[in-house]
């Protein structure tokens, strides 16, 4: 493995990391909004959230990406492949993260909310100061898990022409005829990235999770 | 003449078709310690939760120091009071739960100072000073920086008591405060409660600690099927359990050392 090859793979890993980080964070923000809708009083909002979640969880990510890549130009949005990739990953992970967050909110023990009511907190204070922080702590491990899944699922964006780690490895392997070494190196880089994500998640858990 | 601390008249609470509280009239005087006892399912916790307006009573009137709680009598039946008025009346009430219900993401100090800062709007230093004073009162000043998961059950419940006391309520409600504690940890909690009673705090306590009720309560209320089956002074209720249903209920405690009822007060290890 030459330095030239390795630096190409590292550049691909950088693209993979960037796409994944943006998608997971974007998906968390969108997921919070969808979770809010699914806990809302309005039936219409709850219905929209349910339809969104069932679509993005029910259709394979590969199909979603291909659909976005081909459908967006028809709608007059001529996005580069990388934008379609980030959009697709974000929309998909948002559905999973919304469900995870909803589970966290629903599982905040009723007694902790009553403790807020009895000391005179308003509904808004209970949401912001009791329910949300406890729900986030309950869901943190699942969000880290989701980040790892997205990092790996991002390999699918190679089908829409994005030069991520997987696509770069494919290109290299088809020119140097050493697929085993090349894909082994790519796999090692994915593993390394995910070890970093897992470690960051564990650190974050220690930081916020002393109360659990 | 001052109004009673708590007055219930004809209070009812239904869960679906089940009538959990069935027309309870009860008066608790300022400075009085009242214990609610009775078999499980008799409605004692529900009644206490109604007094805190955590459950909304379906009929009847609850007054806290003369002010109606939640609902006031109107011309055509009762009217629901606005949330602000409910919050104002409820400010007289502190409550301690069976499961402590401390917020796991806040330290002991954070649990006690939270409402001081965000409900009473005290500045952080003032709120924390006051919170420390109340943690000290329950003997836990040295645990201020600990999270609930780092405290024993008895310590958690004492923090919960400090959290309620810090808001300086006129009435403290206790919902089976020692039921989820190991026996050797109940003493420290009962000791704090005994101190409160000695200071003249008005208290309503749902408890299975019959010995504690017999020695600390002035007023004992025996509930059965959502109704008051018997009430009176502790000595009237316990020393002469002439009521056959109460006698049967108390018999279930004989195995658990209810001989305390007849013997003079023993230390709970406080």
What is the biggest distance separating any 2 CA atoms in chain B, rounded to whole angstroms? 56
Using the Cβ of B104 and the Cβ atoms of chain A, whether some distance falls under 8 Å is answered with yes
Best A118, A126, A127, A204 member to test B by mutation, with max B CBs in 10 Å, is A118
For residues A94 and A80, is the Cβ–Cβ distance under 8 A? no
pLDDT tens across B140-176, in order?
999 999 999 999 999 999 999 999 999 999 999 999 9
CA distance B22 to B225: 8
* Token pair in block for residue A4: 């030239």
* Token pair in block for residue B21: 């509280």
Find chain A residues with C-beta within 8 A of B90's C-beta. 118, 120
Three-state SS at B206: strand
Cβ contact, residue pair A115, B105, below 8 Å: no
For residues B246 and B239, is the Cβ–Cβ distance under 8 A? no
Nearest to B96 by CA among B141, B154, B163: B163
pLDDT band at residue A209, thresholds of 50, 70 and 90? low
The percentage of residues in chain A with a pLDDT greater than 70, rounded to a whole number, is 98
pLDDT tens across B204-224, in order?
999 988 888 988 999 999 999
Find chain B residues with C-beta within 8 A of A120's C-beta. 87, 90-91, 115, 119, 167
Q: Choose among A114, A120, A212: nearest Cβ to B119.
A: A120
- With 0-12 / 13-18 / 19 or more C-beta atoms within 10 angstroms meaning exposed / middle / buried, residue B57 is buried
pLDDT tens across B111-133, in order?
999 999 999 999 999 999 999 99
- Which residue's structure tokens are 């899944």? A149
pLDDT band at residue A206, thresholds of 50, 70 and 90? confident
* Token pair in block for residue B171: 């009435």
Q: Is the pLDDT of residue A152 over 50?
A: yes
Best B105, B134, B157, B177 member to test A by mutation, with max A CBs in 10 Å, is B105
Q: What is the dihedral of CA A78, A84, A87, A90, to 10 degrees?
A: 180
What is the predicted pLDDT for the residue at B243? 77
DSSP A149-184: HHHHHGGGGGGGT---HHHHHHHHHHHHS-HHHHHH
What is the predicted pLDDT for the residue at B257? 53
pLDDT band at residue A78, thresholds of 50, 70 and 90? confident
CA distance A37 to B167: 35
For residues B18 and B204, is the Cβ–Cβ distance under 8 A? no
* Token pair in block for residue B102: 């401390």
What is the biggest distance separating any 2 CA atoms in chain A, rounded to whole angstroms? 70
Q: Where are the alpha helices (DSSP H) in chain B?
A: 44-51, 83-90, 108-118, 124-137, 153-165, 183-198, 210-216, 234, 244-251
Using the Cβ of B179 and the Cβ atoms of chain A, whether some distance falls under 8 Å is answered with no
Q: Is the pLDDT of residue A184 over 50?
A: yes
> Stretch A150-154: mean pLDDT, rounded?
93
Q: Is the pLDDT of residue B261 over 80?
A: no
What is the predicted pLDDT for the residue at B264? 43
Contacts of A177 (CB under 8 A, 6+ apart): none
Find chain A residues with C-beta within 8 A of B52's C-beta. 118
Using the Cβ of B102 and the Cβ atoms of chain A, whether some distance falls under 8 Å is answered with yes
The separation between CA A59 and the C-alpha centre of its own chain, rounded to angstroms, equals 16
How distant is the Cα of A138 from the closest Cα of chain B, in angstroms? Answer: 11
pLDDT band at residue B263, thresholds of 50, 70 and 90? very low
What is the predicted pLDDT for the residue at A212? 46
**B3 or B203, which is more confident?**
B203
For residues B13 and B64, is the Cβ–Cβ distance under 8 A? no
- With 0-12 / 13-18 / 19 or more C-beta atoms within 10 angstroms meaning exposed / middle / buried, residue B143 is buried
Find chain B residues with C-beta within 8 A of A118's C-beta. 52, 54, 90, 93-95, 164
What is the predicted pLDDT for the residue at B266? 45
* Token pair in block for residue B268: 């709970």
How distant is the Cα of B256 from the closest Cα of chain A, in angstroms? Answer: 29
Cβ contact, residue pair A118, B90, below 8 Å: yes
* Token pair in block for residue A74: 């028809």
pLDDT tens across B36-75, in order?
999 988 999 999 999 999 999 999 999 999 999 999 988 8
Q: Is the pLDDT of residue B76 over 90?
A: no
Cβ contact, residue pair A121, B115, below 8 Å: yes
Nearest to B118 by CA among B167, B70, B85, B160: B167
Q: Where are the alpha helices (DSSP H) in B138-240?
A: 153-165, 183-198, 210-216, 234
For residues B95 and B52, is the Cβ–Cβ distance under 8 A? yes
How distant is the Cα of B90 from the closest Cα of chain A, in angstroms? Answer: 7
pLDDT band at residue A80, thresholds of 50, 70 and 90? confident
For residues B10 and B226, is the Cβ–Cβ distance under 8 A? no
Find chain B residues with C-beta within 8 A of A210's C-beta. 147, 149
Domains of chain A: 3-210 (1.10.3720.10)
Find chain A residues with C-beta within 8 A of B115's C-beta. 119-121
Nearest to B104 by CA among A126, A114, A133, A204: A133
DSSP state of B167: T
What is the predicted pLDDT for the residue at B244? 80
pLDDT band at residue B269, thresholds of 50, 70 and 90? very low
Q: What is the model's pTM?
A: 0.83
Find chain A residues with C-beta within 8 A of B106's C-beta. 211
CA distance A86 to B151: 45
Cβ contact, residue pair B104, A137, below 8 Å: yes
Using the Cβ of B117 and the Cβ atoms of chain A, whether some distance falls under 8 Å is answered with no
Cβ contact, residue pair B105, A137, below 8 Å: yes
> Stretch A127-146: mean pLDDT, rounded?
91
């Amino acid at each position: 493995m030459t330095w030239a090859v390795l630096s190409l793979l590292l550049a691909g890993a950088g693209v993979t990391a960037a796409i994944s980080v943006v998608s997971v964070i974007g998906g968390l923000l969108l997921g919070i909004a969808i979770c809010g809708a699914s806990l809302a009083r309005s039936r219409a909002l709850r219905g929209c959230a349910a339809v969104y979640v069932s679509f993005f969880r029910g259709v394979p990510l590969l199909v979603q990406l291909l659909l976005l890549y081909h459908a967006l130009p028809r709608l007059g949005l001529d996005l580069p492949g990388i934008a379609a990739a980030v959009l697709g990953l974000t929309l998909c992970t948002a559905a999973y993260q919304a469900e995870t967050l909803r589970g966290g909110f629903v599982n905040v023990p009723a007694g902790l909310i009553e403790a807020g009511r009895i000391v005179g907190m308003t509904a808004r204070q209970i949401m912001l100061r009791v329910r949300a922080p406890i729900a986030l702590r309950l869901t943190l491990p699942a969000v880290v898990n989701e980040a790892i899944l997205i990092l790996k699922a991002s390999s699918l964006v190679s089908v829409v022409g994005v030069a991520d780690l997987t696509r770069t490895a494919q290109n290299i392997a088809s020119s140097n005829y050493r697929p085993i070494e090349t894909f082994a190196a790519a796999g090692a880089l994915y593993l390394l990235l995910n070890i970093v994500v897992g470690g960051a998640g564990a650190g974050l858990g220690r930081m916020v999770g002393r109360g659990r | 003449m001052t109004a009673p601390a708590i007055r219930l008249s004809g209070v009812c609470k239904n869960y679906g078709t089940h009538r959990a509280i069935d027309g309870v009239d009860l008066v608790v005087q300022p400075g009085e310690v009242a214990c609610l006892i009775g078999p499980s399912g008799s409605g004692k916790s529900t009644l206490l939760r109604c007094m805190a307006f955590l459950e909304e009573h379906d009929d009847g009137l609850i007054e806290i120091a003369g002010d109606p709680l939640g609902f006031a009598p109107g011309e055509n039946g009762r009217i629901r009071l606005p949330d602000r008025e409910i919050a104002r009346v409820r400010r007289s009430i502190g409550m301690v739960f069976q499961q402590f219900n401390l917020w796991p993401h806040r330290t002991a100090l954070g649990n006690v100072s939270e409402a001081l800062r965000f409900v009473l709007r005290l500045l952080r230093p003032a709120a924390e000073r006051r919170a420390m004073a109340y943690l000290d009162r329950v003997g836990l000043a040295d645990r201020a920086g600990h999270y609930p998961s780092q405290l024993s059950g008895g310590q958690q419940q004492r923090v919960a008591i400090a959290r309620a006391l810090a808001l300086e309520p006129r009435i403290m409600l206790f919902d089976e405060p020692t039921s989820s504690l190991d026996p050797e940890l109940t003493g420290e909690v009962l000791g704090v409660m005994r101190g409160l009673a000695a200071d003249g705090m008005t208290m309503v306590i749902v408890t299975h600690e019959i010995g504690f009720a017999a020695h600390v309560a002035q007023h004992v209320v025996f509930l059965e099927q959502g109704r008051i089956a018997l009430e009176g002074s502790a000595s009237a209720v316990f020393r002469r359990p002439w009521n056959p249903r109460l006698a049967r209920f108390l018999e279930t405690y004989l195995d658990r050392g209810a001989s305390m009822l007849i013997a003079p007060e023993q230390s709970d290890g406080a």
